[in-house]
Amino acid sequence: MTGLPHHTLAATLDLLEQLTPFRSVAGQRDAQRQLAAWLENWLINEIEAEVVLPVADQPDEHGPPLVHVRIDINAPTTVVLYNMYDVMPASDEGWDVPPFEGGIRHWDDKGDVYIARGAENNKGPLAGMLMTVRDLWLTERLHTNIEIILEGEEEIGSGNLRRYLSQQPCPIAPAEAVLFPSLCEYGGGAPRLYLGFTGMTTGRLKVEGGSWGGPRAAIHASNAAWIANPAWRMVEALNAIAPAHANGVLHTEPVTGEAADILDELAAQFSIRDELIMRRSERLTIDTDPWNALAHLLGSAVLTIPDIYTSPQGGRGIIPPLACAELALRTPPGIDKDALLERIKAQLADPALAGAQLVLDDSYPGHRFSIDDIGVMELMNSYHQQQARPQIWPWAPGCAPAYAFAPIAPAFLIGGLGYGGNAHGVNEFVTLQGLQRFQQSLSDWLLAF
């Protein structure tokens, strides 16, 4: 290993403690803008980075500001480091420390951990990434130019980032590889390496009262026997497009070719039991062997329902004029999301479902790349240098706008050693040992270029 200075972890924790109080959640635009400006100033002052897109010049209507800077050392190669500064909401209830204050605690089963909203996803890795780049830059060990781009709406679809990267010419010139530095020793197990990502479509199914039946304004619930309820029509519509017994799975595409070969090796080392423990669950929706379970997970287009509500909300004694179900459709690489959406619209056109309407907000496709693309072997080697054997996945079941980076580099990788957990939940954490491993693996990856 190349070896990071002993002070790096302390400096990283100090930086993470400064990032934690920013409540950079969706809808908190002032906090997001303040954090974006803070990060831009840090990059200027600490690494003398060149600002490509000033935060101050970005209007609010474009979304949370992007932070885009360049470290140009006149090297023949360039890599891109992508990360995020937005986090999920959190209340203090159930936390060992307030989530937007953060702090170190000792857990018997994990050792010393830093607890805070974003500790794992993704302020912890962001702080580790920035301090690793700073260390390499200060010690003149960088051998490649680095483009750094940070966004504030990864959790809600990355719309501003995707629009920015779609410009012609692209604001980021062609590079060797793109890395999303993250803690990838999920559950404390073998680090994962994903060769692609799932796509995402968001929107809602809504039913309003009208000519089909149902009131145009809230009425007393005593009329339920003879006035249709939009909430019941919405339940019917949901069951028509995504029957409950399928748990939201609309279509499953077979895993074939190179992806199937990769799955052969993954399944041989994969433990369903360990996965269930990490996911705080007791059983899968299907009872099968690891290969078929993984193929079902990776090949399925699945509809999830983040929220169901009626308006006005809290009206126990009314028939509401509006019922809504917020939807998220996850589509793996190789599945035609547009065809699935057309199928849903056709199902909702059934006269028996009159009043049900699909409203789409945003959409991007899944994307995968090859194990032979630049950056992949370098990431595997960064794991091997700390005696870690990666699990290689054909693509991730999680969503990321990998396709938007395709014009820049063949591979969009999420990677890094390190153990954290409870992302989006109570007591989100990163182990201090994991943070050190993360920074070492990122340093090794960067030095490979």
Mean pLDDT of 272-288: 92
Q: Would you state the pLDDT for residue 280? A: 86
Write the pLDDT tens digit of every residue in 112-125: 999 999 999 999 99
Write the pLDDT tens digit of every residue in 28-42: 999 999 999 999 999
How far, in Å, CA of 198 to CA of 401, rounded? 8
User: Please, what is the average pLDDT of the chain?
Assistant: 95
Listed residue (414, 431, 413) closest to 422, CA to CA: 431
How far, in Å, CA of 364 to CA of 234, rounded? 26
* Structural domains of the chain, with CATH: 7-197+367-447 (3.40.630.10), 199-364 (3.30.70.360)
- The alpha carbon of 405 is separated from its chain's Cα centroid by a whole number of angstroms, namely 15
How far, in Å, CA of 233 to CA of 208, rounded? 9
Residue 78 parent element (H or E): strand 78-84
Using the predicted structure, report yes or no on whether residue 21 has a pLDDT greater than 50.
yes
Using the predicted structure, report yes or no on whether residue 314 has a pLDDT greater than 90.
no
How far, in Å, CA of 446 to CA of 130, rounded? 13
Q: Would you state the pLDDT for residue 6? A: 53
Mean pLDDT of 170-194: 94
Mean pLDDT of 366-394: 96
- Crossing angle of helices 432-447 and 123-138, in 10° steps, is 50
Listed residue (392, 390, 380, 396) closest to 445, CA to CA: 380
Q: pLDDT band for position 8 (50/70/90)?
A: confident
- Give the helix ranges, DSSP H, for 303-431: 337-348, 376-384
How far, in Å, CA of 82 to CA of 67, rounded? 10
- Give the helix ranges, DSSP H, for 330-410: 337-348, 376-384
Q: pLDDT band for position 1 (50/70/90)?
A: very low
- Give the helix ranges, DSSP H, for 289-431: 290-299, 337-348, 376-384
